[in-house]
Amino acid sequence: MAEPLIVTIDGPAGVGKSTMAKRLAGELAIPYLDTGAMFRAIAWKLGQGAWEWDDPSLEAALEEFEFALSGTGPETVLSLNGTPLGNEIRTEDVGMWASNVATRPVVRSFLKRAQQNLGSRFSLVAEGRDMGTVIFPQAPCKFFLDASVDVRAERRLLQLQLMGRPADLDELKAQIARRDHQDRNRAVAPLRPAQDAVLVDTSDLDREQVFSALLEGVKQG
Ligand code: C5P
């Protein structure tokens, strides 16, 4: 059997990684792996404050979790213990909890094993913070998306408004900046581009332009 193809997309919160990963995976007819959803699911299941538990308690709780992937492209489904993950994990609070549990090495090594296991069985468009640097350093095709905090907060505001969840722009900017700071400065697997990643600043690009840049990169990669 041919080696699975892994395409990695890393970048900060709200830069549009999931939208692009879904679409690119659809084009390539392979699943996409939303690794932020894995951190969110763990944070949501364990609840507020779990990031302060001691290592043995966290390890014991993580042993109960099993992730599975099915489908391809936008129809990819990520499940935890047999239940597909839904919108319950998509709040700003759960995003911050996820960022907190993501600082814990025991959580990161548990998810590293789970993500690499999926990557050994499926071709993937894998998106997150450390896909190109830590989880799939051998991937032939790596991207790092970035955009200013202001642009990302405005895009997030629009998304929330479309979902009927009005939000405050300044509050969103503060939340994004807080999560960026924690994700970029943590000791283990901090957010940064892999040396061989293609950098795409999406601040002045629309979705079509970003998608074309990624598709072009995959064709050349
Ligand atoms: O991408 P998303 O915003 O859903 O991720 C939630 C949080 O999970 C991030 O702020 C980050 O702290 C953590 N994360 C991570 N490594 C990944 C994916 C997400 O540390 N590969």
Residue nearest to ligand 1 atom 6, measured at CA: 36
Cβ atoms of 197 and 144 within 8 Å: the answer is yes
pLDDT digits (tens, 9 = 90+) for 67-116: 999 999 999 999 999 999 999 999 889 999 999 999 999 999 999 999 99
Ranges of each domain in the chain: 6-213
Say whether pLDDT at 170 is over 80. yes
Task: Choose one of 32, 129, 159, 188 to mutate for the ligand 1 pocket test, by most ligand atoms within 8 angstroms of C-beta.
Answer: 129
Atom of ligand 1 nearest to the CA of 99: 12
In the chain, where do the E strands start and end?
6-10, 32-34, 67-70, 77-80, 83-84, 124-128, 141-146, 198-201
Q: Which residues line ligand 1 (CB under 6 A)?
A: 13, 35-36, 39-40, 95, 98-99, 102, 128-130, 179, 183
Does the model's pTM come out above 0.85?
Answer: yes
Architecture of domain 6-213: 3-Layer(aba) Sandwich (3.40)
Q: Is 99 exposed, middle or buried (0-12, 13-18, 19+ CB in 10 A)?
A: buried
Candidate from 55-64, 152-161, 192-201 with smallest mean pLDDT = 152-161
Say whether pLDDT at 1 is over 80. no
Atom of ligand 1 nearest to the CA of 90: 4
What is the per-residue pLDDT for 165?
85
Distance CA 148, CA 151 (A): 5
Task: Choose one of 46, 51, 99 to mutate for the ligand 1 pocket test, by most ligand atoms within 8 angstroms of C-beta.
Answer: 99
Residue nearest to ligand 1 atom 13, measured at CA: 99
What average pLDDT does the segment 202-217 reach? 96
Residue nearest to ligand 1 atom 4, measured at CA: 36
pLDDT digits (tens, 9 = 90+) for 176-202: 999 999 999 999 999 999 999 999 999
